[in-house]
Amino acid sequence: MKITKHIARRLAALALAGVMTLAAAPQALAADTIGGADTAQVPVSRELEQENCIQWLLDLFGLGGSDKITVDYLNVRGQGLRRNVRMDLVDCLVGITYTELGSIGSYAEISDRAAAEAWKAQAIAIHSYLEYQNQYGSSANALTYTPVDQIPSATRRKMENAIRDVADLVLVYDNGSGWSVCDAVFSCSAGYNTQTGVYGTCSALDAWGTDVPYLQSVESPYEEQYHNILRRVIGKDYRMLEYNDSRHPDEPYRSADTSHKSLGGFVQYDTLVVNGRSYRYLNQFVSSRYCFDFTADQDGTPAMAYYGYGHGVGMSQCGAVGFAQERGYNYRQILSTYYTGTRLMDSSDGSVSSGGWNLFDWLFGWLF
């Protein structure tokens, strides 16, 4: 049925394109190649792009196919921030996934299957995030794309083979009146709650003060183990001990209130109170979102311990690789773990997965 739909869409698109070419014959827009042979970037405004009557009408009637994507804002490695980038969908997802996860398939500790499932989960999260940001986002939320011709050829082939099969999929949730695409945020690693002894992600409510049904705090047990393996990609220490209040450097540490925590130990911005003062974040952090605890170093000097890298909301990349490698999770299981109550929608035909327990995955997932 899906093949029939694709064929029908293609035939309709070709017919409409032929009619419009004879009627209008607009001039082609200049494009700069930034990736594979079929990847082109159009550095023009949306208004100018719509002067291409054929493409505009194809998109208007939903006949443009799913092999291209337009990204409102995209950081292109070596070129900076670009506006209105239209490019091959698979190339786009491969390039951004490589920026995020790198050549994890080449690590001895990670099997080819686990790498493929982690890449798939990451690609679907990226696709969903891009579609959400196209609707509601800004340049501050732009992801970074590595041109695919800069990716080592063996890694590129593996990533393309994995991601091509899921390129059309996006995460959606039931908003009460229909399906909406998810703001599928992700970060390098989740946190650790010293009070509960559990690694886990932070909820959107604790991180940003807004409750999002699919961005809840969930347990993520493989954070430290796989951060140590993926540090070559992440490039930051997972756990650090230091305390240096840059606003009051000569004032000794006396007390801190970190009682309002998510499962992973992340403290809501306005509830981090040090020496009686509320902080959004402390300036020595490389990110404005960490989970905190106050303790003492080996010499007994008061110190602040912070864990995790990034905001900690949504999918943890270290955790996703860990679930794929240690428990044999496929991309569907990884995504359902980190994005509570979501479904997968095929953007090419609008079909939504049934969700819930999957007998096939339970019986035969280990074979793959």
Gyration radius of the chain over CA positions: 23
| Domain range annotation of the chain | 33-44+66-185+315-367, 191-217+226-307
Q: Does the pLDDT value for residue 186 go beyond 90? A: yes
List pLDDT tens digits, range 327-360.
999 999 999 999 999 999 998 888 998 764 444 4
List pLDDT tens digits, range 234-268.
767 767 666 666 677 677 666 666 666 778 777 66
pLDDT at 295: 74
Please give, one letter per residue, the 3-state secondary structure of 224-270. HHHHHHHHHHHCCCCEEECCCCCCCCCCCCCCEECCCECCCCEECHH
Q: For residues 226 and 321, is the Cβ–Cβ distance under 8 A?
A: yes
Q: Can you state the percent helix, strand and coil of the chain, rounding each to 5? A: 40, 20, 40
Q: For residues 170 and 124, is the Cβ–Cβ distance under 8 A?
A: yes
List pLDDT tens digits, range 30-49.
222 233 323 333 333 343 34
Q: For residues 180 and 214, is the Cβ–Cβ distance under 8 A?
A: no
Token output for 140: 């501050």
The pTM for the full model equals 0.76
Confidence of residue 222 (pLDDT cuts 50, 70, 90): very high
Q: Does the pLDDT value for residue 128 go beyond 50? A: yes
List pLDDT tens digits, range 74-127.
999 999 999 999 999 999 999 999 999 999 989 999 999 999 999 999 999 999
pLDDT at 332: 98
